[in-house]
Structures are given as C-alpha cells and as structure tokens.
Amino acid sequence: FRRLKMDPLYASSVLTNLLAIVFSFYLLFRFFEISFLNPIVKLSFSTLDPFCKPFRIFLPIMFGIDLACIFWIIDLKFISFYLFSSSKEMDFDLVNAISWSILSLFFLISQILRFSLFISIIGSWVAPTSNNPFLSICHNITQPLLRPFQRLTNFGGMDFSPIIVFFLLIQIDRILDNLRFSMNLPTLF
C-alpha cells in the first residue's frame, strides 16, 4: 500500500477551521439563548466560556452577540488563512487575511443556519416528538428565523417559511461569495 503524504500546514488549517466551527456553534447557542439544560449546550459553555471570559473585559456581550467569541472565530479563521496560504505557497497579505476571516465568519454562520434548518425540517418529519438534544438545538436555532415568515406563508396547514429562509440564506451566501470573488480571495470554507 502506498502511504498518503499529508501537508502539515494544510492539516493545521483544517483543524483551526474545525475549532472556528465549534466556536460558531457556541456563538449561536448564546445568541439564540438555547437552554442550558441541553447537554450539548452545557458542554460547549463549560468548555469554551473559559476561553472567551478574559476577553469580555474589552469585548462584551452586546444584544446577545458574544464579541469575545467573534474575536476567537476571526482569529482562528485568520490563522487558518495563514496556514492555508503557506501550504499553497501563496503570497500572504494582512488585509486579505482579515477580509477573508470576516467573510468566512459570516459564511460559516450562514452554513450552520442552513444545515440546522434542513435538519430541523427532516427531524420534524421523521421524529416530530423527539427529545434528541441535537434536534432540539436545530429547532431552537431555526425557529426564530422562521417565525416572522410563518404568519405570512401558512396556507391551509402548509408552512412555506423554510423555503423563504433557505432562499434568503442562499442569497447571503451569494453576496459573500461575490465579495470574496471581487476581492480576489480564495474560496470560503
């Protein structure tokens, strides 16, 4: 068998992106005020809050948005961009790295919301009365997004609000991708 050779810089970039995803979930848990009784939420708070707490002196929680957590996500995305550009032998530009990190944060949040909505819809069909903590999180994240459209799109028991929210999230992704393209940045991930 032939051994696979993995680039350590690229692997490190992937790991920092995974950490950014974990912090993004924590950010959404806090923003949507997901119940602390959920074991996944409780674990994320007990694990990640100690990292954010020291930065809250300068970066507080405003309007439910944990600015210290956003700081961590952007830092992790910045490191990921640096490692990725080093592994691909690209020129590193500080402005591009910061721009990519911020756009990537918004793209990541949009992706999490879209997948949560998809899982919530499938979960409501397959197991409508489930107490699964993961399904509960997906439902609690997406319900505030759906609520404004449910009043307008409920026709004869059919709720079309998920279609509207999906459409809006896809449009946000397109805007972010167009910004990335116009700034000549690598693909967001």
Residues of the chain whose pLDDT is less than 50? 1
Residue 69's pLDDT is 96
pLDDT at 88: 74
What is the rounded average pLDDT for all residues in the chain? 87
Give this prediction's pTM. 0.87
Q: How confident is the model at residue 166, as a pLDDT?
A: 92
Q: Give strand pairing partners of 154.
A: 159
- Rounded Cα–Cα distance for residues 61 and 91 (Å): 35
Dihedral sign computed on CA atoms, order 104, 110, 113, 115 = negative
123 in helix, strand or coil? Answer: helix
What pLDDT shows up at residue 124? 85
Taken as a whole, the chain contains a residue count of: 189
CA 37/CA 41 separation, integer angstroms: 8
Position 158 scores a pLDDT of 75
Task: Give residue 189's pLDDT.
Answer: 56
CB 96 within 8 A of CB 183: yes
Q: What is the pLDDT of residue 83?
A: 83
How is residue 8 written in tokens?
Answer: 């350590």
Which tokens hold the place of 108? Answer: 């990541």
What pLDDT is attached to residue 97?
86
Joined tokens for residue 118: 């998809």
- pLDDT computed for residue 82 by the predictor: 86
Res 6: pLDDT: 66
